[in-house]
């Protein structure tokens, strides 16, 4: 085994400082001289304490590799059942902006079976190229099948940046790909910019349930990979642009894939999905009971909106799980979000801070929700909500 | 069945705040807990062991205090636990963490299933499960909310997708990441908690040398991503409080919405 750390015997005076400091017991002194043992982890503790500079290493300080051959901002064109996920268009918009700053191309990679018809749309929304991989084993998303194909594409075409939506598929595929091609990955980004000095991607994302924002860079590996929160970036207006479609060879054997889809079930959601709603009336613990939700439903009806809730009220059974907004629920970006009896804990805020206008109603004037509201009402929602409904009805009448 | 569960001890993020002066996290007074999704992973593993027979081994990478989380896991019914703790592991991103966890699992040797929680409430990445699965070259299923059937070489599970779910069959060994919908975790049993703290405790501690990793492959040095800065999120909101009784306030609000052309 190559020793990354060794002792220059002539310089060693047998003082045993290294023996004492080693966390692994990987140095011993025999015949008055220190010897590094096989289970040394190259942590470097002994180097630091040796006064004779007898311990040496060939482990170099971390160099940033030359990545000049890495070109292109890539976007995963996610499709299910032949329909493109909206996040892919949002990412193309962002990719265009990033690529513009780098002077590079935007490419999308599209996997599936008989999906070439989507290429025109992908190019109209900003892709210069589409890498198209079609195969019957790619018809439905399966982790290993998609990872194998993306790995080949990345190794062959060497992109600089690779973005995927932080959807269920994206968050299943991206980490697997990152491990496979040996790169860092940043999850659920809400902001992406190019650092003007280093020319690298700066990836900003929430952590600790949204209490903290972190900006992350990937200096030591390529492509720089990130998953991006849906509904945050903006798609560009559709153009008539065309580009290149590059057909890619795919060879996949069923037995290597490991998973088989037995059944795929679409659950009918009652009403409009929260991500499409222009107005959301949301309830929290302050609503008090399932009965208490009634006035929220009435308000939503008058405003042509949808009802949602915090994790608490879903756990209580006052609303079904698909109505939950928050860190472990959905992220929504309506025009108006009316938070009724919601304290505004960080985990809930994580799901609705992208709303254009936020109205908060809470009995407690110190509730954190008021920090993020455009208009706040300190009062009992069971009075305020019906009063608001009535005022709206009256104003419509005028 | 040999089942492995990966858990993480995390601060209870409801209480985490940033010090406005230094920009770093205030950890005093914040309780450390087993990551919620990991609790569901533990429960799933232990239930499966009770039904099929076998052993549950829990692994966690963290500072020495993580032993509390592992003791709780033993209390819930895990057979043994391994704490991966070493200064060299500090500052790890998910690449370095998954390398450390992956190598440790390789060292354990035989396993049929690995359970993970979907995501940790501090890092919020949901990356460790899939990255460990690829390290070990095993198939994965994420967002598992129901375990339907287990046979010698396969498992059938239900996986959440936007707007519905899929029923999948997966070959074993495999790695599953689970979400809260899967089960209701049991409380630890006092007797088992006491056993966890005894001298012949079923909790082992492994450092970098025990696992057989180099310092340059783990921790900060082994990471590909670096945190450039952390900051408190800023909210640009009007913050206008409306005064008056319910009727007056309602009227004012309608006016505000009209002014902004929202209705």
Same-domain status, A108 and A245 = yes
Is A68 within the bounds of a domain? Answer: no
Is B7 within the bounds of a domain? Answer: yes
pLDDT one-digit tens code per residue, B113-169: 999 999 998 888 999 999 999 999 999 999 999 999 999 899 999 999 888 899 999
Is A260 within the bounds of a domain? Answer: no
Set of chain B residues whose Cβ sits within 8 Å of the Cβ of A261: 166-168
Q: For B9-30, what is the mean pLDDT?
A: 72
Is A354 within the bounds of a domain? Answer: yes
Phi, psi of A389 (to 5 degrees): -55, -45
Which one has a higher pLDDT value, A379 or A270?
A379
Same-domain status, A82 and A215 = yes
Is A265 within the bounds of a domain? Answer: no
Is B143 within the bounds of a domain? Answer: yes
CATH number at residue A379: 3.40.50.1220
Q: What pLDDT score does A398 carry?
A: 57
User: Is A321 in contact with B140 (Cβ distance < 8 A)?
Assistant: no
Is B109 within the bounds of a domain? Answer: yes
Q: For A64-86, what is the mean pLDDT?
A: 95
**Please, is B29 exposed, middle or buried when counting C-beta atoms within 10 Å of its C-beta (0-12, 13-18, 19+)?**
exposed
User: Is B209 in contact with A167 (Cβ distance < 8 A)?
Assistant: no
Q: What pLDDT score does B144 carry?
A: 96
Q: Is B100 on the interface with A (CB under 8 A)?
A: no
Q: Report the alpha-carbon angle B135-B137-B142, nearest 5.
A: 85
Is B128 within the bounds of a domain? Answer: yes
Of the candidates A194, A179, A166, the one whose C-alpha atom is nearest the C-alpha of residue A350 is: A166
Among the partner residues A62, A265, A379, nearest to B165 by beta-carbon distance: A265
Q: Is B237 on the interface with A (CB under 8 A)?
A: yes
Q: What pLDDT score does B15 carry?
A: 62
Q: For A107-136, what is the mean pLDDT?
A: 97
Best A143, A174, A335 residue to mutate vs chain B (most B CBs within 10 Å) = A143
Q: How far apart are CA A358 and CA A337, in angstroms?
A: 5
User: Is B228 in contact with A175 (Cβ distance < 8 A)?
Assistant: no
Q: What pLDDT score does A3 carry?
A: 54
Is B262 within the bounds of a domain? Answer: no
Domain boundary among A57, A81, A97: A57
A81 bridge partner residues: none
Same-domain status, A210 and A297 = no
User: Is A388 in contact with B141 (Cβ distance < 8 A)?
Assistant: no
Is the CB of residue A329 less than 8 Å from the CB of residue A314?
yes
Q: What pLDDT score does B14 carry?
A: 62
User: Is A259 in contact with B214 (Cβ distance < 8 A)?
Assistant: no
Q: What pLDDT score does A269 carry?
A: 61
Number of domains in chain A: 3
CATH number at residue B139: 3.40.50.620
Q: B254 to chain A: nearest residue by CA?
A: A392
Is A234 within the bounds of a domain? Answer: yes
Q: What pLDDT score does B22 carry?
A: 60
Q: B179 to chain A: nearest residue by CA?
A: A328
pLDDT one-digit tens code per residue, A246-284: 999 999 988 889 999 999 998 876 566 788 788 999 999
Q: What pLDDT score does A1 carry?
A: 39
Same-domain status, A285 and A250 = no
Range of the domain at B194: 2-217
Over chain A, what is the mean pLDDT? 92
Among the partner residues B228, B238, B260, nearest to A202 by beta-carbon distance: B228
Same-domain status, A103 and A246 = yes
Is B169 within the bounds of a domain? Answer: yes
Q: Is A374 on the interface with B (CB under 8 A)?
A: yes
Q: For A241-245, what is the mean pLDDT?
A: 94
Q: List Cα–Cα distances, A122 to A96, A191, A240, A246, in angstroms.
A: 12, 22, 11, 13
Same-domain status, A107 and A34 = no
Same-domain status, A80 and A195 = yes
Is A269 within the bounds of a domain? Answer: no
Same-domain status, A183 and A284 = no
Q: For B44-50, what is the mean pLDDT?
A: 96
> DSSP 3-state assignment of A8?
coil
Q: What pLDDT score does B20 carry?
A: 66
Same-domain status, A102 and A213 = yes
Among the partner residues B134, B232, B253, nearest to A212 by beta-carbon distance: B232
Calculate helix-pair angle for A168-181, A143-157, nearest 10 degrees: 50
User: Is B168 in contact with A260 (Cβ distance < 8 A)?
Assistant: yes
> DSSP 3-state assignment of A22?
coil
Q: Is A180 on the interface with B (CB under 8 A)?
A: yes
Is the CB of residue A194 less than 8 Å from the CB of residue A154?
no
CATH number at residue A41: 3.30.70.20
Is B138 within the bounds of a domain? Answer: yes
Percent of chain A with pLDDT over 90: 76
Is B223 within the bounds of a domain? Answer: no
Number of inter-chain CB pairs under 8 A, A vs B: 267
Q: For B179-205, what is the mean pLDDT?
A: 88
CATH number at residue A180: 3.40.50.620
Contacts of B84 (CB under 8 A, 6+ apart): B59, B60, B61, B62, B100, B101, B104, B206, B207, B211
pLDDT band at B261 (very low <50, low <70, confident <90, very high): confident
Range of the domain at A294: 274-397
Q: What pLDDT score does B24 carry?
A: 63
DSSP A113-141: SS-GGGHHHHHHTT-SEEEEEE-GGGSS-
Same-domain status, A241 and A311 = no
Among the partner residues B121, B208, B242, nearest to A377 by beta-carbon distance: B242
pTM for the whole structure: 0.82
Same-domain status, A287 and A385 = yes
Q: How far apart are CA B100 and CA B88, in angstroms?
A: 11
Beta-sheet pairing, B32-34 with B9-11? antiparallel
Same-domain status, A22 and A133 = no
Number of domains in chain B: 1
Is A63 within the bounds of a domain? Answer: no
Among the partner residues B122, B126, B133, nearest to A207 by beta-carbon distance: B122
Is the CB of residue A357 less than 8 Å from the CB of residue A374?
yes
Q: Could you report the predicted ipTM of this complex, rounded to two decimals? A: 0.90
pLDDT one-digit tens code per residue, B205-259: 999 999 999 988 999 889 999 888 888 777 678 789 999 999 999 999 999 999 8
pLDDT band at B33 (very low <50, low <70, confident <90, very high): very high
Q: Which of A20-29, A241-250, B71-80 has the lowest mean pLDDT?
A: A20-29
pLDDT one-digit tens code per residue, B65-116: 999 999 999 999 999 999 999 989 988 999 999 999 999 999 999 999 999 9
Is A261 within the bounds of a domain? Answer: no
Among the partner residues B124, B215, B260, nearest to A209 by beta-carbon distance: B124
pLDDT band at B23 (very low <50, low <70, confident <90, very high): low
């Amino acid at each position: 085994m190559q020793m990354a750390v060794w002792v220059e015997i002539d310089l060693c005076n047998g003082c045993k400082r290294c023996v004492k400091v080693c966390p692994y017991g990987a140095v011993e002194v025999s015949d008055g001289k220190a010897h590094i043992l096989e289970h040394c982890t190259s942590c470097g503790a002994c180097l630091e304490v040796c006064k004779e500079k007898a311990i040496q290493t060939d482990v170099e300080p971390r160099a940033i590799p030359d990545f000049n051959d890495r070109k292109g901002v890539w976007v995963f064109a996610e499709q299910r059942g032949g329909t493109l996920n909206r996040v892919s268009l949002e990412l193309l918009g962002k990719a265009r902006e990033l690529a513009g700053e780098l002077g590079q191309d935007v490419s999308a990679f599209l996997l599936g079976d008989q999906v070439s018809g989507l290429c025109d749309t992908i190019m109209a929304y900003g892709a210069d190229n589409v890498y198209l991989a079609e195969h019957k084993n790619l018809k439905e998303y399966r982790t290993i099948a998609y990872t194998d194909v993306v790995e080949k594409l990345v190794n062959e075409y060497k992109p600089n940046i690779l973005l995927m939506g932080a959807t269920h598929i994206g968050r299943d595929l991206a980490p697997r790909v990152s491990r496979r091609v040996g790169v860092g990955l940043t999850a659920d980004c809400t902001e992406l910019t190019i650092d003007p000095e280093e020319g690298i991607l700066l990836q900003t994302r929430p952590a600790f349930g949204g209490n903290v924002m972190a900006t992350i860079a990937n200096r030591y590996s390529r492509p720089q990979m990130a998953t991006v929160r849906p509904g945050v970036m903006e798609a560009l207006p559709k153009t008539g642009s065309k580009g290149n479609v590059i057909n890619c060879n795919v060879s996949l054997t069923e037995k290597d894939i490991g998973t088989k889809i037995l059944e795929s079930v679409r659950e009918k959601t009652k009403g409009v999905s929260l991500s499409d709603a222009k107005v959301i009336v949301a309830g929290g613990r302050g609503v008090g009971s399932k009965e208490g939700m009634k006035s929220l439903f009435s308000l939503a009806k008058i405003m042509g909106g949808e009802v949602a809730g915090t994790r608490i009220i879903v756990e209580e059974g006052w609303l079904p799980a698909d109505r939950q907004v928050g860190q472990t629920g959905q992220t929504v970006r309506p025009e108006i979000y009316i938070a009724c009896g919601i304290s505004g804990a960080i985990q809930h805020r994580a799901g609705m801070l992208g709303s254009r206008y936020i109205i908060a109603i809470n009995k407690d004037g110190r509730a954190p929700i008021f920090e993020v509201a455009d208009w706040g009402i300190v009062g009992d929602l069971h009075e305020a909500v019906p009063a608001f409904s009535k005022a709206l009805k009256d104003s419509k009448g005028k | 069945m040999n089942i492995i569960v990966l858990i993480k001890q995390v601060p209870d993020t409801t209480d985490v705040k940033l010090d406005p002066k230094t920009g770093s996290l205030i950890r005093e007074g914040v309780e450390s807990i087993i990551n919620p999704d990991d609790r569901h992973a533990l429960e799933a593993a232990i239930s499966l062991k009770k039904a099929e027979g076998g052993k549950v081994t829990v692994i966690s990478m963290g500072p020495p205090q993580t032993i509390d989380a592992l003791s709780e896991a033993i209390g819930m019914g895990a057979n043994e636990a391994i704490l991966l703790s070493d200064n060299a592991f500090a500052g790890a991103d998910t690449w370095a963490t998954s390398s450390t966890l992956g190598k440790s699992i390789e060292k354990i040797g035989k396993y049929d299933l690995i359970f993970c929680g979907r995501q940790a409430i501090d890092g919020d990445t949901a990356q460790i499960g899939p990255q460990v699965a690829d390290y070990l070259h095993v198939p994965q299923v994420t967002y598992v909310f129901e375990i339907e059937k287990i046979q010698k070489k396969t498992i059938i599970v239900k996986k959440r997708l936007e707007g519905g779910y899929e029923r999948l069959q997966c070959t074993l060994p495999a790695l599953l990441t689970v979400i809260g919908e899967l089960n209701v975790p049991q409380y630890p049993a006092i007797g088992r908690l006491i056993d966890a703290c005894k001298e012949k405790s079923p909790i082992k501690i492994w450092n970098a040398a025990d696992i057989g990793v180099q310092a340059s492959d783990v921790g900060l040095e082994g990471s590909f991503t670096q945190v450039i800065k952390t900051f408190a999120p800023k909210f640009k909101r009007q913050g206008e409080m409306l005064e008056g009784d319910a009727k007056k306030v309602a009227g004012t609000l309608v006016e505000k919405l009209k002014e902004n052309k929202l209705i």
